[in-house]
Structure 1
């Protein structure tokens, strides 16, 4: 899954799916299904149909049982293949609902003697067959045990089939089910997406199965290790398009019960997990090109208008090169005959790696140079690269259970930079992993409420347990430690191990130690490479304990030490570690600009390291931030580094200039360094023109805005930052010929945005006049937007913040009328920048109306408002007042839901706000916090740390800013 926010909800509406008409439809569907099933070579005829609608209630099981009361499937059955037919209705029924009907035959092998079948089923209304909710037949055997009882076990989401006798070990059996479900707009399982084109509302039936919602589409063994082959048939309206993982192989137009339909069947899939299964019925168009020498069909699907406008061209242009890069990188051929990628109007993940049919938010796949910024273009590139990496790492070879999700998502989050760099080599995109992932996750992993990358299998059971793993630790820390691993092994050794791993475990499942074993084999076959310990021993210290170290270097003696880095150094770490929070740390370093031989820090302290320096030398460790750790030095070395920055900053590598800023600010937040030292690292920025140091500084200065924009520190702080940013603002004004040209460098385009954002935020008159002028010009001529797409988010925000109802209402009208998703996103963000409380309150209420704000955008819109100093309290009160509703709508299994909690509390830093958080936790402990439980703990820990820090540092910070303003 991409790095966007995965949102789903748990709401039981099975009782609404009843009606006599459904039974008729199921019977008709079963007839067609029987005809289609005979076309599948692997299919077995399950006999006739005797169907009636199941009762709305859940029958009570005869007795409690450890099997059906557990969330994990027993290891008694192994699925082989499914014959699955689904018929989504794209028009609302007379009962006001959209439905789908379906039938499935799951063929499995009995691997351990049992008289019980457990198969996942969630929110499906099952039809009775011969008096039960399922029918069992033998495949290739004379008889199968009779079905004695069937019922739905709601809590654990099982269809339970109790048999009259045991099944034979090694025997194959077929389980037939027929069902009806709601094609709801809840963005999970088999759901509907709606959009308007040419004044006509259109409906898409689409899927999001990861992590545990395939069971919402059909009864299935819904665990990643339960791989099977899927034979999919879709029944749909004539004129619509049906898509699935496999290539469409047969299309028949027919009539069912007086309704004209098209029946499309697909090639059987490869053996794969249920969570990467996908099927879509839509009215979309696509862009493609003739198959290349590799005979792979590449298609980009989207709304017809989007394809006609060329918005799929960029995605199509980069997909082929990225696929070829990965084939070479992994030394494994892409195993499918096609690569479909589709942009959906309603989709809450950033993207989803369904094998052969990757689904995306529109903003993650579509690019229009007239409306899209370079940031939009880069997002399309990196998300495609991320999802295509999963075709091998995740789909071909799949982790056995979700406790190892970090390896799946962390790996894709790392190599996405390599694939993107191959497609756009001039963008220097590989280095941005430091800003996007390493620095980003440091902030979370430095809390005592963090968690290890890998958990024990028995700790991850319920769907909410699984969904909480889709966080920045799994994605960004996973990427960071894998990048470190690749660096100290060297890339050739790393990819050699990857290749043997993927080839050995193709179409099967693994645990993370399988990868370590193959990497160790690659190390052992490379005589020139020497590691101090095995790959397993080194990496277990990084994945089995939370957090990361700070390495402290005394350059006068060469002494090194490591400590668990915590933002709140006084906090108690309750999670024990068998490694005592010590790591095996690869140390890369320079002395006064000259690179030196790397070495390892293998214990708490090393008194004989080579990191000594004379009075005129500086030492710099963790070159290019390839290691997942922070660095602290003795005061003399810090002074030498500061002097170098102020005299000739370019002698220090650009990534390490960003590192110095980020490390000092965070070491100061942890009370390891004096805050004035961190603030002094920003002084040289008046001469800095590179992106990465400015991004690092702005990230940390933004933290200062959150801490101080409601206090007396804000005035002097704003004055200092205005003085700091003015040279950069003037620089870009000059090289763009007074804002009439676009900087040629990709990174300069980003830094131009930084210059305008900070200059306007700190009240630079020339900046505010510029943005208000552009926006007013657009208001006077809405058909001709004079603002370059790169600058629109910042300009819109600045102008709406400076304006009133007229500017806000204009922005809202432009948002409603935007046909380009990336343009709508820019406006949706900017509308949260208003300084008028009544406008922000109105905007918050709009999030309750899906005709105004799509459900996929609700949580991020509220977070945007909370980031506004005026809107923060409004958003917090809004969420608290509707907590149970938000929990029901979005909290069951949602990465985005965790983002909601952290977002609305990000500014919290007072004792009163800490008490509010603690009271909120107490008030809602019976309701629960869903997939946001970790985020709430982290918010409390973060607020506690900030409260302590402010008590000790606020006056010092105020004095420093006042001194710099003179």
Structure 2
């Protein structure tokens, strides 16, 4: 038993009487009956005398189990006398007549069958349309966290690493992929061995389910894998095409064959991802100090895929929109997301696959690190994208927003029951994990940090490790006890707000307390004293102070010109006195000549002020005043942060009087319309990436704020585009224009005309996936109840909207004030149907819960929602439900506290931004 299992006796783990060392697996999937047959021979080390062997299975029928051992007194083989199942715990126990002695080796030979399910988990089927429009199927896998057991009986725990020999028996015309390279491929003669026609079964026979004899089969064998966890095993079977490239071999000792696989006709859209892949593989070999350990890397676009991508060793699977990017027709916002997703999954090939967490408590080691180092690689490949300001603008806020709730959880969270695991694949594990790594690497120095990582990888390769193992390696490299202060960040929930007071003596007092967006912190919740690098930005330098106590004094210039958290590398909010905010606002207006020349500092200033007004530690009107200081801003990320907070205020104020909402729109319009008019609608070929996306952002905000010039041009270009002039709407602007024209429709008739045209665009299967999803998302931005009902009905029809994409529907309606009530009514009326629909993809259901609940701003609504869920078993989605409800309470308290103040401010300042 692993050390952490001993420390936590409540953890549900397998018995340790035997341990697997090697799997020899043969599978035959049938894409007509959706049954697969398998045989697995598992080499075992017998640790204790045993007559029974327990392993993981789910939705698997075991036909026979034969145990071979040289340690048996009589026959070397014995068939299981009984096979029992514990379906609640995903266990199968095989009992044998004769005990196998300890300290011997054995082979367990199991024949079995399972279903190619449609739940996007385990070994499952995915649909696509062929050239004639017929629905066809491919087979693929998703095993993380605990679904390898749906594909084969196995020891489905990350620390029970073994090697794997895989053989796939598939129709001859299809491509079959697995983790390793192909060593042989030959015609297969169906002997019945896999399909249940052999004798000696322990239970039941299955007849008549073999592949049609008219179809020829082939047997594909793959090389033996390195030692790896079951959740990283993978196979894909379908009519894939591929494009191929090789890495330079500079850091990998030999060029690595890299391929993108996709369905016929779309594979060339994988060129961007392939180029990123070959660059990143060499970069990671250099960063980690270890060559990529497999002979090839394949990346496959899968139509039905629950997550964004999965880092299976040597065979990374992706949701189509996360891998394929059409240089001519896709929106530029997907170019960065595709590059990042590829780099994130490739980082896992080392950090997660070569060195694996010992248990799911340490999930953040995989995901937080891969997030940070994934962006590190993107920054190396695309230096002009200003990736770390992007991180401050997008990723840190995701973490800090969730971690500001009482219903958050520590980065390292105890996991006992496998049913709990999917709930921690969230912004804390990914983005807070990445943020604290970025904070630590900035404090130690990136070179020192990466040297420690290389030490960690080299020490634990092909094995398992814990967070403490990483801290130990970093401490040895940096000559400082990293765990002493980092444990506070990984094992405690939340983060601090640093409240600054001017001492009027050329110094400031900084006091830390836990930040809660509810603003109602009690003494018991404020027990953590975080280690917080301050990095005080001064006109000529950065002072590298560190806050280690509850309250400390620090020297600053007498004129009060300073900013805490230079470069926004540390994880906290800063609450400045109003006079300091005004000084910093003045520096903003100076642009590049001011203290805040670094865009990350300006983003951080907005983010802190925008969130502190939610908690009541600053006023909403103070934020609105600060926003006006950015009138001359030219940086995309700064505008993006402003957009996020202004849109948030408008969303929360949706039940306030129309003149107040219009006033808030007018403020947003006064900021964004000049930028939109300056940049215009045309994209120059030599224009840089950040200017491109600023144009998109500015036009979106101007149009959604009823800027007449922008709305008229959007409608004009929309109808030109619908009439066949593709050049009228650049791919980057199609989504924004769909949203603008729907929001600016003058009546229901015009709204319906726009909606029907956008629906046609969504249904056009010739378009790149991202363009269709942009259209699908836009359809939720309507006022018409009839159209909202049609949209909701579409979400339940798999022929209209894939299950994985229904979340675009729910998310779009949740953000639409005119649709929230109808969405909640639909959710409650269809609850049982929705729960059944997502029963096997429970994280999707958790997101549906979040969308249905999270848009409201009323405490009465909280009571109604709690009453609805009172008699439901919420165990599998308890965390997203709690977080959504807490978010409603936060917003209800915020608008109740500040709505009158904002109303007065709007009336007093309306003339300034009319």
Give the TM-score of the pair, scaled to structure 2: 0.91
Partner of 1:254: 188
* Aligned with 2:805 (options 857, 877, 894): 857
Counterparts of 1:474-485 in structure 2 under 5 Å? 474-485=429-440
Q: Distance in 2 between matches of 1:704 and 1:70?
A: 43
Could you report, residue by residue, the CA deviation over 1:120-153 in whole angstroms, capped at 9, with x for unpaired residues?
11001221x3xxxx22111676646773422111
Partner of 1:115: 51
- Secondary structure of residue in 2 paired with 1:393: coil
Matched, 1:80 2:21: yes
* Aligned with 2:510 (options 560, 568, 573): 560
1:662 CA displacement: 1.2
1:495 CA displacement: 0.8
Q: Distance in 2 between matches of 1:944 and 1:650?
A: 42
Q: Distance in 2 between matches of 1:572 and 1:162?
A: 55
Partner of 1:3: none
- Secondary structure of residue in 1 paired with 2:228: coil
* Aligned with 2:172 (options 232, 238, 245): 238
- Secondary structure of residue in 2 paired with 1:621: coil
Q: Distance in 2 between matches of 1:662 and 1:113?
A: 61
Asked if the contact 1:555/1:619 (under 8 Å) is kept, the reply is no
With over 3 angstroms needed to count, the CA separation of the structure-2 counterparts of 1:808 and 1:650, relative to structure 1, is farther
Greater mean alpha carbon deviation, residues 106-115 or residues 443-452: 106-115
Partner of 2:265: 305
* Aligned with 2:618 (options 647, 661, 673): 673
1:498 CA displacement: 0.6
Partner of 1:11: none
Greater mean alpha carbon deviation, residues 161-170 or residues 428-437: 161-170
* Aligned with 2:845 (options 897, 905, 908): 897
1:539 CA displacement: 0.3
Partner of 2:795: 847
Asked if the contact 1:189/1:215 (under 8 Å) is kept, the reply is yes
1:698 CA displacement: 1.1
Q: Distance in 1 between matches of 2:817 and 2:110?
A: 54
Partner of 2:322: 364
Asked if the contact 1:139/1:174 (under 8 Å) is kept, the reply is no
Partner of 2:38: 102
Q: Distance in 1 between matches of 2:72 and 2:172?
A: 40
Matched, 1:439 2:381: no
Partner of 1:6: none
- Secondary structure of residue in 2 paired with 1:289: strand
Counterparts of 1:176-575 in structure 2 under 5 Å? 176-199=109-132, 200-256=134-190, 258=213, 260-289=216-245, 292-293=248-249, 294-307=254-267, 310-456=268-414, 460-524=415-479, 534-556=481-503, 557-570=507-520
Could you report, residue by residue, the CA deviation over 1:210-258 in whole angstroms, capped at 9, with x for unpaired residues?
1111000110100111111111000111111110001011011133264
- Secondary structure of residue in 1 paired with 2:329: coil
Counterparts of 1:28-107 in structure 2 under 5 Å? 71-91=12-32, 93=33, 98-107=34-43
Asked if the contact 2:71/2:100 (under 8 Å) is kept, the reply is no
Q: Distance in 2 between matches of 1:898 and 1:192?
A: 23
* Aligned with 1:149 (options 82, 93, 113): 82
Could you report, residue by residue, the CA deviation over 1:796-849 in whole angstroms, capped at 9, with x for unpaired residues?
222233242222222222211233111111111111122222111111111111
Could you report, residue by residue, the CA deviation over 1:506-551 in whole angstroms, capped at 9, with x for unpaired residues?
1111111000000000012xxxxxx5xx201110000111110111
Partner of 1:805: 752
Asked if the contact 1:69/1:156 (under 8 Å) is kept, the reply is no
Q: Distance in 2 between matches of 1:112 and 1:140?
A: 12
Asked if the contact 1:113/1:166 (under 8 Å) is kept, the reply is yes
Partner of 1:920: 868
Matched, 1:790 2:732: yes
1:318 CA displacement: 1.5
Asked if the contact 1:351/1:364 (under 8 Å) is kept, the reply is yes
Q: Distance in 1 between matches of 2:577 and 2:818?
A: 41
1:184 CA displacement: 1.9
Q: Distance in 2 between matches of 1:519 and 1:722?
A: 49
Asked if the contact 1:555/1:633 (under 8 Å) is kept, the reply is no
Could you report, residue by residue, the CA deviation over 1:438-465 in whole angstroms, capped at 9, with x for unpaired residues?
1121111011111111123xxx122321
With over 3 angstroms needed to count, the CA separation of the structure-2 counterparts of 1:773 and 1:484, relative to structure 1, is same
Partner of 1:5: none
With over 3 angstroms needed to count, the CA separation of the structure-2 counterparts of 1:742 and 1:675, relative to structure 1, is farther
Structure showing greater relative contact order (alpha-carbon pairs closer than 8 Å, 6 or more residues apart)? 1
With over 3 angstroms needed to count, the CA separation of the structure-2 counterparts of 1:573 and 1:360, relative to structure 1, is farther
1:490 CA displacement: 0.6
Q: Distance in 1 between matches of 2:683 and 2:286?
A: 42
Could you report, residue by residue, the CA deviation over 1:450-491 in whole angstroms, capped at 9, with x for unpaired residues?
1111123xxx12232111110111011000001111111111
Asked if the contact 2:72/2:99 (under 8 Å) is kept, the reply is no
Partner of 2:201: none
How many corresponding residue pairs? 862
Could you report, residue by residue, the CA deviation over 1:717-753 in whole angstroms, capped at 9, with x for unpaired residues?
11222222222112212xxxx5353671212211111
Greater mean alpha carbon deviation, residues 164-173 or residues 667-676: 164-173
* Aligned with 1:768 (options 687, 707, 711): 711
Unpaired stretches in structure 2, ≥5 consecutive residues = 1-7, 192-212
1:306 CA displacement: 0.4
Asked if the contact 1:68/1:118 (under 8 Å) is kept, the reply is no
- Secondary structure of residue in 2 paired with 1:619: coil
Asked if the contact 1:283/1:303 (under 8 Å) is kept, the reply is yes
Matched, 1:613 2:547: no
Q: Distance in 1 between matches of 2:619 and 2:755?
A: 43
Counterparts of 1:748-759 in structure 2 under 5 Å? 748-759=691-702
Greater mean alpha carbon deviation, residues 629-638 or residues 508-517: 629-638
Partner of 2:823: 875
Could you report, residue by residue, the CA deviation over 1:846-885 in whole angstroms, capped at 9, with x for unpaired residues?
1111111011111232111221122211112212222233
1:901 CA displacement: 2.2
Asked if the contact 1:887/1:929 (under 8 Å) is kept, the reply is no
Q: Distance in 2 between matches of 1:640 and 1:400?
A: 50
Asked if the contact 2:176/2:236 (under 8 Å) is kept, the reply is yes
Q: Distance in 2 between matches of 1:697 and 1:70?
A: 45
Asked if the contact 1:101/1:180 (under 8 Å) is kept, the reply is yes
With over 3 angstroms needed to count, the CA separation of the structure-2 counterparts of 1:894 and 1:382, relative to structure 1, is farther
Asked if the contact 2:316/2:345 (under 8 Å) is kept, the reply is yes
Asked if the contact 2:280/2:377 (under 8 Å) is kept, the reply is yes
Q: Distance in 2 between matches of 1:964 and 1:729?
A: 23
Asked if the contact 1:448/1:573 (under 8 Å) is kept, the reply is no
Q: Distance in 2 between matches of 1:743 and 1:901?
A: 44
* Aligned with 1:694 (options 639, 655, 678): 639
Asked if the contact 1:866/1:873 (under 8 Å) is kept, the reply is no
Q: Distance in 2 between matches of 1:645 and 1:891?
A: 50
Could you report, residue by residue, the CA deviation over 1:165-201 in whole angstroms, capped at 9, with x for unpaired residues?
5432221111122122111221110001111131143
1:702 CA displacement: 1.6
Partner of 2:669: 722
Q: Distance in 2 between matches of 1:112 and 1:490?
A: 48
Unpaired stretches in structure 1, ≥5 consecutive residues = 1-66, 525-530
1:667 CA displacement: 1.2
Q: Distance in 2 between matches of 1:648 and 1:420?
A: 27
- Secondary structure of residue in 2 paired with 1:963: helix
With over 3 angstroms needed to count, the CA separation of the structure-2 counterparts of 1:553 and 1:784, relative to structure 1, is closer
With over 3 angstroms needed to count, the CA separation of the structure-2 counterparts of 1:690 and 1:77, relative to structure 1, is same
